[in-house]
Amino acid sequence: MQLIIDVGNTRIKMAVFDADQMVAKMTTSLTQFVESLGGFIGDYPIKKAIISSVGRLSKEQSRSVQLRFPTVLLSHTTPLPFVNNYATPETLGVDRMALVAAFAKAYPEKNGLIIDAGTCITYDFINAKGHYKGGAISPGIHLRYQALHNLTANLPLLEVQMPETIVGDRTETAIHSGVMMGIVKEIDGIIDQYQSDFNVDTVILTGGDAEILSKRLKNSIFAHSNFLMEGLNYILRRTND
């Protein structure tokens, strides 16, 4: 079995895979990671692990995994199941590497766009030859609400809410419309552009905000909540023990 650890900007996700099948999953905080790890893996015969970190995992926290199992620390030097044409591969986020790896496994010989709606919204394009070309990074839902509140004098900080109409008739509904409908139109517009320019035939939407967004997108997408974890598992399975 394989242990998958995804360290994000706000939380840590862990999963156990038996070959390609996820058998367990949990989410914890950075401060509770070591304690949570011990309880989570106790019932599973883990053989190896992979850590993908875009957050602030300390060396001590990382070693709590490395001392238990052979561990891959995902980076641009890790063997990947696609050709990386990013001009600066050392700056490519490991979360984006994992998403593209998942696509390469699940949809070989397809032109694909992977959209990850989390703290940031990332767009990643891989062509049918298995060449990763790059994409885009945009502020996510919460960042947009926070920016309106923090960078203006009078706008309130609101909880996420999808508006019923595009016309906001007061400050709160105007903010919801601007943030949420703006993101929906952004995503639909970018999908349209990739389909026009690169004949993209498969679009994956994943990440913590995928569910709320998927219901309003006009384009056909595949919503996949575990796509990143499956990509990390695929990368790990391809490495030598």
Q: What is the pLDDT of residues 193-214, one digit of tens each?
A: 999 999 998 999 999 899 999 9
Report whether 52 contacts 98 (CB < 8 A): yes
Question: Two tokens at 238?
Answer: 């391809």
Report the pLDDT value the prediction gives residue 25, as an integer from 0 to 100. Answer: 94
Report the pLDDT value the prediction gives residue 61, as an integer from 0 to 100. Answer: 87
Which residue ranges are tagged as binding site for ATP?
Answer: 6-13, 119
SS3 at position 95:
helix
Reported as a single tens digit per residue, the pLDDT across 9-42 is: 778 999 999 999 999 999 998 888 888 898 898 8
Tally of structural domains, the chain: 2
Reported as a single tens digit per residue, the pLDDT across 69-107 is: 999 999 999 999 999 999 999 999 999 999 999 999 999
Report whether 80 contacts 168 (CB < 8 A): no
Domain end: 53, 73, 93, which one?
Answer: 73
* Catalytic residue of the set 95, 192, 201, 209: 95
The CATH number assigned to the domain holding 22 equals 3.30.420.40
**Burial class (CB within 10 angstroms; exposed 0-12, middle 13-18, buried 19+) of 227:** buried
Q: Which residue has the tokens 């709320």?
A: 212
What is the rounded CA–CA span in Å between residue 130 and residue 127? Answer: 6
Q: Which domain holds residue 116?
A: 80-241
CA distances from 181 to 22, 38, 82, 187, 209 (A): 34, 42, 34, 10, 14
Which residue ranges are tagged as binding site for substrate?
Answer: 86, 93-96, 171
**pTM of the full predicted structure?**
0.91
Co-location of 165 and 87 in the same domain: yes
| Percent of the residues in the chain that have a pLDDT greater than 70, as a whole number | 99
Co-location of 53 and 168 in the same domain: no
201 is catalytic: no
Report the pLDDT value the prediction gives residue 241, as an integer from 0 to 100. Answer: 52
Report whether 7 contacts 52 (CB < 8 A): yes
Co-location of 68 and 184 in the same domain: no
